[in-house]
Chain A
Amino acid sequence: MTSPLQQKIKITGPSMVTANRTSDGVVIYRTAQQGWSASLSDAAIVRTSDEARALLNEANADDVGAIGAYIAPVELKEGGEIKPGNLREHIRSKGLTIDLLPA
């Protein structure tokens, strides 16, 4: 996956803005209420590049609360459920894909 840090703002499908919380690094998502949530289901969904840029700018303005904000794809399921749009975001939202102790 090309590092999202280098990406141009041009989205091709539903997207969200994600970052890490400054105090503890926890993965967070930008909400529609101009805040952050640790749950992907609370993420504000954007559908155009302009919306995405606006959401990202808003997120970046909160330099105290969050670091490294970027836009990432999501998949929208029937009934409005939000799923991560790629493996990287899947791992960020669900955690490691490995067992920590030997099987």
Chain B
Amino acid sequence: MYAYDELDRTLINERVSEFRDQVKRRLAGELTEDEFKMLRLQNGVYLQLHAYMFRVAIPYGTLSSKQLRALARVARRYDRGYGHFTTRQNIQFNWIKLAELPDALADLAEVGIHAMQTSGNNMRNVTSDQWAGVAPGEVEDPRIWSEILRQHTTLHPEFSFLPRKFKIAITASEHDRAAIKVHDIGLRLHRNADGETGFEVLVGGGLGRTPFIAKTIKPFVPGRDILSYVEAILRVYNQYGRRDNIYKARIKILVHELGIEKFAREVDEEWRQMDGGGLTLDHSVIEEVRSRFSYPAYEKLPHMPDELKQAAHDPLFERWRKNSVAPHKVQGYSIVTLSLKPVGGPPGDATADQMDAVADLADRYSFGEIRVGHEQNLALPHVAKRDLPQLWKALDRIGLATPNVNLVTDIIACPGLDYCSLANARSIPIAQELTRRFANHDTAEMIGRLHINISGCINACGHHHVGHIGILGVEKNGEEFYQITIGGRADENAQMGALIGPAVPYAEVADVIEDIVEAYLALRDRPEELFVDTVKRLGVEPFKERVYATR
């Protein structure tokens, strides 16, 4: 866990009273909507179809049980009893009243949670691997660096009025769980030949209307130089980035137009001239931030406790364990993923009761800590293996033990036309129908790892470009249609999916997806060949033939 210092707490509280005053003036008619809009966006407040939406940051996806209870309370007291976990380690509330928002913010401020950096053209919540600090083989905890960046960029004038929003993600593991290649800046922590830790710096990734995979501009920047290097990137962006055209304003467009070599040269030149710019990190500063992350007092536990051996006789437990439990860096412990993708449920939603129950389970079994990942699931990061059978039963009782993590029903979906004012088409009911079609766990396991990602419009909040199967809502003559892509991926081998054929109407989407999966089962050369690998080996054509031949 991370302990906020006095400065943070003061800042958060000041923001709440500032916003309370702004809301009061807005409601009294002293501020017009034009004047107020930017102020509300700086506090995470959007307008959706039915109501205001309130987006709250969960920095690097780490929550304490106390914080999760506060989120549950907000859901219950000011909203309709649930919240939606997003792909960028935020949570959204969909029904908040403007008049009550200051109270909700104040309740969250008590536990150090806020909505800064969740909207507007600024540096957004710096995201990270949801297994940070517990994944085996990690170079070091990437959250230390997320936090250093967060502190430096929060409300920093140079980062508050960028040409467009700006997103950074950090990973420190071989396997990228933070989707760094689809961020404006992706940072991969690693060690160089001398054993020094530093970052591979990638720039210009992003989804939306013009998707790009980030490219490496520097293979190694020592940790102490990362702030100055990021600042150099931002300066080049601030200088050249287009402010005239919202669709061309993201850094990915600049990188694309300048070319990665030229962009890298510009950054290097800027960086050289800055000569640290007072941003070189002292060892003591890094250590100070490091010391604020506390780790549990792990016990010395056996690798294979008796409780686990016994429970292994229960096939339902075993199925869940194999699917949702991952190795931990400390012997005798595990990382447990809590699927927020029940069959028939809206992906990423959790009720206030579930949040409270998870907070209690975290206290009992995970040293009071919860994680939020970009796949819209939760995790308990420090569960003793001997407790797994008990935890499983408890999770099952609250509907959070669906053994479908990374399987076909573990769908990423944006709110779509059910909530979002920018949407062309609905996302959630498509996801719900697909989870019903593939509800049989044996079938899902037989299919293997398969990520379906759904967005209700080209903004790509549901990461459709990088879904193994991507579904994008478009509009044709007032009707909902969906473009389907295959072969995308968001990990270290990130790539955009390719279109498989003409868009299909709402009612046919689930059938087409079933056909694609059938085609894969027929085409894969062995059961271990994953869907994405079959697409990679064969290309789109054989899928297209099978799926569209009969349509």
**Contact surface of A with B, Cβ cutoff 8 Å:** 1-3, 5, 20, 22-27, 63-64, 67-68, 86-88, 91-92, 95-103
Contact = CB atoms under 8 A, between A and B. Distances in A.
Contacts of B525: none
A20 B417 contact: no
A87 B432 CA distance: 19
Given A24-B97, A97-B418, 5 more contacts: A23-B98, A67-B33, A88-B417, A101-B345, A103-B343
Contacts of B432: 98-99, 103
Interface in B409-446: 417-419, 421-424, 426, 428-429, 432, 436
B475 interface: yes
Given A97-B418, A102-B342, A26 B47 contact: no
Given A86-B478, A102-B343, A68 B27 contact: no
Contact of A97 (B48, B422, B426, B478): B426
Given A63-B32, A92-B49, A98 B98 contact: no
Contact of A22 (B26, B399, B419): B26
16 contacts: A1-B417, A20-B47, A22-B33, A23-B97, A24-B51, A24-B52, A25-B98, A26-B50, A27-B49, A63-B32, A63-B33, A64-B27, A68-B421, A87-B417, A91-B417, A102-B343
Given A100-B349, A101-B345, A25 B97 contact: yes
A63 B29 contact: yes
A25 B47 contact: yes
A20 B475 CA distance: 24
Nearest to B96: A25
Contacts of B96: 25
Nearest to B421: A3
A29 to B, nearest CB: 14
Interface of B: 26-29, 32-33, 47-52, 82, 95-99, 342-346, 349, 351, 399, 417-419, 421-424, 426, 428-429, 432, 436, 475, 478, 480
Instruction: Name the residue in B349, B417, B418, B423 with the highest tally of chain A Cβ atoms < 10 Å from its Cβ.
Output: B417
B475 A2 contact: yes
Nearest to A96: B418
A68 to B, nearest CB: 6
Contacts of A101: 345, 351
A95 B426 CA distance: 13
B429 A98 contact: yes
Contact of A1 (B28, B424, B428): B424
Instruction: Name the residue in B47, B399, B480 with the highest tally of chain A Cβ atoms < 10 Å from its Cβ.
Output: B47
A1 B475 contact: yes
Contact of A102 (B51, B345, B478): B345
Contacts of A20: 47, 50-52
